[in-house]
Chains A and B, each alone.
Chain A
Amino acid sequence: MSTATAHDTHHEHHPGGLLRWVFTTNHKDIGTLYLIFSLVMLFIGGAMAMVIRAELYQPGLQFVDPQFFNSMTTMHALIMVFGAIMPAFVGLANWLIPMMIGAPDMALPRMNNWSFWILPFAGLMLVSTLFMEGGAPAGGWTMYPPLVLQTGDAFPFLIFSVHLLGISSIMGAINIIVTIVNMRAPGMTLMKMPLFVWTWLITAYLLIAVMPVLAGAVTMLLTDRFFGTSFFSAAGGGDPVMFQHIFWFFGHPEVYIMILPAFGVVSQIIPTFARKRLFGYSSMVYATASIAFLSFIVWAHHMFTVGMPLTGELFFMYATMLIAVPTGVKVFNWVSTMWKGAMTFETPMLFALGFVVMFTIGGFSGLMLAITPIDFQYHDTYFVVAHFHYVLVTGSLFSLFAAAYYWLPKWTGNMYDEKLGKLHFWLSTIFVNILFFPQHFLGLAGMPRRIPDYSVQFAEFNQISSLGGFAFGLTQLLFVYIIWKTVRGGAKATDRVWEGAEGLEWTLSSPPPYHSFETAPEVK
């Protein structure tokens, strides 16, 4: 269904029929396909979040049964992580990396086509599990055994779609690395690359390192279920906790896969609207690399309650706390870039500022969660839910909104409606805080996550959170309308678009030519 939407919205201004989109090897076409796919998935995953918030509006069971509720939390997470946030950043990479480094296209265009066209089928397979005997997967997106082995007919389809999504990500990552390493314009040394390109280069290495680990973990689940192995069954000599170690060895780098490109986006936008160079370019690059390195040695902080030895708990606590240092360097850099600049507050800047403030709030709760002796209280409560939604919604998703508004005039040649853009920002920011801030209180007061019903002491904050959730969900329809309106027409954008914009993509026409740079520009 997502692919059908992709075609429909693009008929009018890209004549050439459906097959053009199926066979395209152009980085801009593929970028557009990725972005539309992720937008469709954002709304499918968002609709599931609405079901969750509706059921949690008051104590008792009103709308769904607990099994379906668990399917909703599981599918919401899988769709948002693998269907919305990750493909959206790959879409941005496709559109922007060739234009930013002065290349005509991506290095491996046919693989680019393939890595996109796997996605709709993987997504469709995942969504189709909702209609299978036994229901959609309901064991959480983390797929912990033994619980996940109780999944009905959906089980092999879950595993296969995770495999497909992983294959797509790996191919996308290889393409990005090959493009960046081989296709930079003369004179563009590594330390002259825009930060968005840098963060994606590092992200792509993370993807190649960890997606195979996830594939291995879910394959072991598959053989445990169907082929009589006992990797994760204690009765057969295996270890259910081993799955958690393997999963989070993938899972922690995965959360940086979803946030490093966001850092890149924000590092492009803030200097533009502050009209001032990024304060510390090289320290930003080193901080990104440090975060990527640390992401490989902190995984067990997701599982402090499994009963690790004391020394293990101490190691993972210290390593996790260390992440605060490079992350702090980033935040301080953004603030110093704004300091004594000449700021204006167009929609991309508003979303970038919202990102810096609210991502930092998510960082604070992250630091609290790193402290093992109090993580025992926070673990698996709504405090954790609040934490990762602050970094993923007001972090990753807000940076994607910022990117969309920032580059949409370049992509389409039309300016978006600034008034509506600002309205979108303010409504989103107010409602997202009503949605997620009270969840900190719920978690501290003792509400576990992933429950469809709760004791009456949690009623008030759940109700506030649900109201914020419905309003935040509705607000996103405005985003679709703004994009649709911009694609259809509007004030013509200049090539530079923004007064303070720097970088090769702004030297191209708006919209840019089909093959970005046919002759490589010279970078001094």
Chain B
Amino acid sequence: MSGEIEISIKNLNLWFGNFQALKNINIEIQKNAVTALIGPSGCGKSTFIKTLDRMNDLVDNVKFTGEVIYKGRNILDSDTDVVELRKEIGMVFQKPNPFPKSIFDNVAYGPRVHGIRDKKTLHEIAERSLKGAAIWDEVKDRLNESALRLSGGQQQRLCIARLLAVEPDVLLMDEPASALDPIATSKIEDLLHELKKDYTIVIVTHNMQQAARVSSHTAFFWLGEIVEYASTIDLFERPRNKRTEDYVTGKFG
């Protein structure tokens, strides 16, 4: 695959207790591109994405081997500053999870945590982030309203704006549109096309059509392994592996 590599994963294995959830994962995530992860439930794709910002550390009995090389260092090393890492590699979840605060405070939260106090600067960051998440026009006159009053789709874009506010490099998205209606979903998908110009995006999705629409590369996970990783068009038009073929044509999964 051509293009600059943002994250390089080498021989990654992960266990929850005695259960091996990821098996010898080797994959290179392209910079400024959308990479989709597909596969049946329990195949390891969410576990994998959570490895990229060390969210699995929150689970008891987790153990991993291998390397996740980002900016020249292995982020699995025990001395990695995970707070700093999650500023650079942020996560959007399936269900929008805005804080029970105002729209402005949601977006300003991250910059404040990282020490920015100046109101003008915070406003500039909020506007830039909300614009980046394509929600500015909908909320610019109600920044002090509770974020919980927004629709589901707006809340999800607000969560993306909240990520952008801390200026990450990589956006991880775990089924970001699965709880949204088709219109809200298409807004998120359009947004991904814009965001990839400035960010590297990894998206987990159960919706294969969504993977086909938004991503340039797709990895098919099965039983903790990557069965096939290819350009999205190749994976959906002419998969090389029989199991990928069976999955994308709906014969199992």
User: Bound pair: A and B?
Assistant: no
